[in-house]
Amino acid sequence: MRTISESRCFGGVQGTYSHASATTGTEMRLSVFVPEQGRSRALPAVIYLSGLSCTEENFTVKAGAQRYAAELGLIVVAPDTSPRGPNVADDPAYDLGQGAGFYVDATETPWAPHFRMYSYVAQELPALVAAHFPLRPGALGIMGHSMGGHGALTLGLREQATFASVSALAPIATPSQVPWGIKAFSAYLGPETQRWRPYDATALVEDGHRRADTIRIDQGEADKFLGEQLRPEVFAEACARAGQTVELHRHAGYDHGYFFVATLIGEHLRHHAELLARR
């Protein structure tokens, strides 16, 4: 781990770090907030996955999570959204390539060598956090926004041994049925839609994946992407049919941006703190 910066924040430390990733074959960056309680004991942690075009910095600077994490005694980890570098495949569009990893393990050329964000978040990142920060064993949650909400839902449904709590803000909840997801999945995974299902939260519930705890989702009703790209109601309906408990909270007047995230971040961190306290 290489320290890029560390700053005192609400009694704890907000840091930005990088490391050579064996999973992506690139240097990966992440931000980590460790509250003051971490000086004397191991703490629960939450991984936050960001959305399209974001880096680890967007959430760290804009969401205001540190104040709540300090009060709750939560470590908060925010990785970058994709591998990056001059030798990493890219696309001119904001919704494909660097900054748009979609939290899948790509199988198609030219993406397959580096775009392995699913395995990075599911395996390498939790091990890295446990090795370098005071993480309490078994007390790790996952959440995200937009593309990151999609990642949090799929990882939370598939990797229950790793992630003990799940939530999402304005997630791409059924990517196989919306333009952002169809474009990304076609490029990263190929045209065969059956290969998309392990990365689609709605399809995972339809295919039998369940959690014993409640999945929380918050969605702004003034979000311009709601009807075309996000469609959380499709996921909620699949959960209702399957008996999976999900709380879908709708908020009048809120759009897709970080003012919405900042408004709800405290509620989400409390959701995770309550569930992780049982671990």
Which amino acid appears at position 46 of this protein? V
Quick check: helix, strand or coil at residue 203? helix
Dihedral of CA atoms 102, 208, 78, 250 in degrees, nearest 10, equals 90
Contact status, residue 95 vs residue 183, Cβ threshold 8 Å: yes
In the set 31, 82, 146, 165, the catalytic residue is 146
How far is the C-alpha of 124 from the C-alpha of 129, rounded, in Å? 9
In the set 223, 268, 271, 272, the catalytic residue is 223
Dihedral of CA atoms 142, 208, 215, 38 in degrees, nearest 10, equals -30
Catalytic annotation present for 167: no
How far is the C-alpha of 33 from the C-alpha of 15, rounded, in Å? 6
* Alpha-carbon distance values, 189 to 43, 166, 222 (Å): 37, 25, 32
DSSP strand pairing (27-34 vs 12-20): antiparallel
Catalytic annotation present for 146: yes
In the set 114, 145, 150, 256, the catalytic residue is 256
Catalytic annotation present for 53: no
Half-sphere exposure of residue 34: CA atoms within 13 angstroms, side-chain side: 21
Contacts 24+ apart (CB under 8 A), 266-269: 266/68, 267/216, 267/218, 268/143, 268/167, 268/169, 268/216, 268/218, 269/46, 269/65, 269/68, 269/69, 269/72, 269/74, 269/76
Quick check: helix, strand or coil at residue 62? helix
- Mind telling me the catalytic residues? 146, 223, 256
